[in-house]
Amino acid sequence: MAELLRLDGASKLFGSLVVIDDLSMHLDEGEALGVIGPNGAGKTTLFNLISGGLKPNAGTVRFGGRDITAVSPHRRCKMGIGRSYQIPHPFEGMTVFENLLVGACFGTDRAEKQCYEPCAQILEQTGLIAKANRLAGSLTLLERKRLELARALASGPRVLLLDEIAGGLTEAECSELVETIREIRTTGMSIIWIEHIVHALVSVVDRLMVINFGRLIEDGDPHAVMKSPMVQEIYMGISAE
Amino acid sequence: MQWVDTVIQGVLLGGLYALFATGLSLIFGVMRLVNIAHGDLIVVASFAALAVAEGFGMHPLITLLAVVPLMFGLGYVLQRGILNLTLGKDILPPLLVTFGLSIIIQNGLLEVFTADSQKLKAGAIETMSLQIFGGISVGVLPVITFVAAVLVIAGLQLLFFRTMLGSAFRATSDDPDTARLMGIDNRHVFALAMAVSLAVVALAGVLLGVRTNFDPSIGPGRLLYAFEAVIIGGLGSLWGTLAGGVILGVAQSIGARIDPGLQILAGHIAFLIILIVRPRGLFPRAVD
């Protein structure tokens, strides 16, 4: 499979605090990669380096064979990096449909009219079609999480970055959302998914990556990774608190 | 009947104040930037119209064809070149920079145009009036000004809620970081917002220059009226800004009727009363 995304020796410092430490990783076209690690391990910072919200202090980010380390976030979105936030950030003063329309029109540079159809399809797919004309500010948490996913999809991504999209949901809501993500996977969409709810993650991804203190600890088959002693110690030790 | 006349004149004056305020309201709405130089930019537009009118022997209202695009371009360059660099979590840098800009503009105008009081000479239209009911007559220019204010605000409302550029304005206003992740170039969107704001300022400046005398020092006074209109109407609401301008205009007009010296004070008192009764203005935005 062709390589879609690659980080080489990426480091990010906040002052003297090293958040990402010489981290290298890659994602193939069509692959679903899960990312786990304790709180503060640098998972969300990793996403910010990929989506362009933060620039690495060292190392490079490559996407589709191009070095995008210096490319601004809105250009990366147009290139096909779609991102959802851990804490949903809908455009609250706009309707659900308008939220998607913004992603579709500016993320893909299509004319407004050509975006209606795909946006409606995505609303259908993500179970938000009945809420299309509601103000995004009035949605429940599950609906906001779905909107994060829908809006990222509307921007026409080649890779979807999901940041704890199942976090904070009830068990039933979580499995509903996992079902939606599994459906999206059937279209061949590449995904990187950060999640604390490991069983949800393992049921979807092809490969699992563990990071701690901004470093790559383990990378491989999800079940094998979960069984490795280092993960048991670092990750389970902390999550059992 | 005299009082009816007073109120009508006040409403029409309010149209001019609404035009002063619309650009300010738009900029604050889109990027939370308080443009202290707004009043001085209105005066820049008046002087630009003066230069074009005298240079080419044009009617002041025709100069709009040149002044509006000029100010639109100036707005884009100003935002892209300077003001974008000041935007961030801290609200102080844009205040300081636009305050400095205000001083630079006043002194620059003083250098080029001197402190002499100027007026845009519009000829016969200045004194034309229309008879409406009950023997009340209204000036043609104030009517044009008011209609222009309504059209500008209606146009901006359409721009905001019926176009993708408007969606980009609203999305960036809601959450600039997320807007960037949706493929929106903030710097460009902000620059376009400032360009639109200054296009409205151009119209306000020309109509101001036709209505009254102006000199390089009157900017801050216009800024004050603009601020009051925006705050009376409720931050970020364009129709509210029109209502704010009208309330200010009517209050000043009534004040002037009671005692000519009371005109300005009456406007400020009306503003204070509304600030006490409705601290968030008459039409505050639901989400903020």
The residue with tokens 């009157």 is B218
Q: Is residue B38 pLDDT above 60, yes or no?
A: yes
Tell me: pLDDT of A9 over 80: yes
Nearest to A91 among B164, B170, B186 (CB): B170
Chain B neighbors of A83, CB-CB under 8 A = 181
- How does residue A1 score in pLDDT terms, banded at 50, 70 and 90? low
User: Is residue A231's pLDDT more than 90?
Assistant: no
Alpha-carbon span B238 to B236, nearest angstrom: 6
- Give me the CATH topology for the region A1-69+158-241: Rossmann fold (3.40.50)
Task: For residue B20, give the nearest of B217, B212, B228, B161 by alpha carbon.
Answer: B228
Q: What integer pLDDT is reported at residue B236 of this predicted model? A: 76
pLDDT digits (tens, 9 = 90+) for B215-233: 999 999 999 999 999 999 9
Cα separation, B232 vs B227, whole angstroms: 8
Show which of residues 53-92 on chain A sit within 8 Å of chain B, judged by CB atoms: 53, 72-74, 77-78, 83, 85, 89, 91-92
Taking contacts as CB-CB distances below 8 angstroms, the residues of chain A near B84 are none
Cα–Cα dist A229/A241, whole Å: 18
* A181 pLDDT above the threshold of 80: yes
Task: Please say whether the beta carbons of B28 and B193 come within 8 A.
Answer: no
Q: How many CB atoms lie within 10 A of CB B117?
A: 12
Reading phi first (left if > 0) and then psi (alpha if -120 to 50, else beta), residue A42 is in left
Q: How confident is the model at residue B1 (pLDDT cuts 50, 70, 90)?
A: confident
Q: In the predicted model, what is the mean pLDDT of chain B?
A: 94
pLDDT tens, residue by residue, A106-156: 999 888 899 999 999 999 999 999 999 999 999 999 999 999 999 999 999
* Shortest Cα–Cα distance, B31 to chain A (Å): 14
Judge: A103–B180 Cβ closer than 8 Å, yes or no: no
Whether residue B288 has pLDDT greater than 60: no
Asked if B179 reaches chain A (Cβ–Cβ under 8 Å), the answer is: yes
Q: What share of chain B in percent tops pLDDT 70?
A: 99
Alpha-carbon distance B84 to nearest alpha carbon in chain A (angstroms)? 15
Q: Do A78 and B182 touch (CB under 8 A)?
A: no
What is the per-residue pLDDT across B234-250, written as a single tens digit (0 to 9) for each?
987 899 999 999 999 99
How many A×B Cβ pairs under 8 Å? 76
Residues 142-171 on B with a CB inside 8 Å of A are 164, 167-168, 170-171
Out of A52, A74, A91, closest to residue B174 by CB: A91
Spell out the residues 6+ positions from residue B256 whose beta carbon is closer than 8 angstroms to its own: B262, B263, B266
Per the CB < 8 Å rule, is B184 touching A74?
A: yes
- For residue A85, pLDDT over 60 is answered with yes
Q: Using DSSP, how many helices (H) and how many strands (E) does chain B show?
A: 12, 2
Query: How far A76 CA lies from chain B's nearest CA (Å)?
Result: 8
Please state the φ and ψ torsions of residue B136, each to the nearest 5 degrees.
Answer: -85, 135
Q: Which residues of A touch B186 (CB under 8 A)?
A: 74
Select from B277, B192, B191 the least CA-distant residue to B234. B277
Q: Which residues of A are less than 8 Å from B174 in CB distance?
A: 91-94
pLDDT tier at B116 (50, 70, 90 boundaries)? very high
Q: Closest chain B residue to A93 measured between Cα atoms? A: B287
pTM above 0.80, yes or no: yes
Mean pLDDT of chain A: 91
In one-letter notation, the amino acid at residue B248 is L
With a cut of 50, say whether residue B287 has pLDDT above it: no
End-to-end CA distance of chain B: 43
Once rounded to an integer, what is the mean pLDDT over residues B144-167?
96
Contact B180 A137 (CB under 8 A): no
Please tell me which residue of chain A has the smallest CA distance to B180. A74
> Strands A32-36 and A190-194: what pairing?
parallel
A196 against B206, higher pLDDT: B206
pLDDT for B138 equals 92
Q: Does the beta-carbon distance from A155 to B182 stay under 8 Å?
A: yes
pLDDT of residue A238 exceeding 70: no
Answer yes or no: do A89 and B177 touch at CB < 8 A: yes
Confidence of residue A44 (pLDDT cuts 50, 70, 90): very high
Q: What is the pLDDT of residue B286?
A: 56
Examine the pLDDT at A176 and tell me if it is beyond 80: yes
Q: How far is A124 from chain B (nearest CA, A)?
A: 20
Q: Are residues B174 and A94, on separate chains, in Cβ contact within 8 Å?
A: yes
Which residue segments constitute the domains of chain B, with CATH numbers given?
Answer: 13-277 (1.10.3470)
Gap between the Cα atoms of A3 and A62, Å rounded: 10
Q: Where are the domains of chain A?
A: 1-69+158-241, 91-155
Residue B133: its pLDDT value, please?
82
Strand order in A58-63's β-sheet?
A17-28, A3-14, A58-63, A66-67
pLDDT (average), residues A21-41? 93
pLDDT score recorded for residue A240: 44
Strands A3-14 and A190-194: unpaired
In angstroms, the separation between the Cα of residue A60 and the nearest Cα of chain B is 19
What confidence category does residue A237 fall into, taking pLDDT thresholds of 50, 70 and 90?
Answer: low
In angstroms, the separation between the Cα of residue A154 and the nearest Cα of chain B is: 9
Residue A29, judged by CB atoms within 10 A of its CB (0-12, 13-18, 19+), counts as middle
The pLDDT assigned to A168 comes to 84
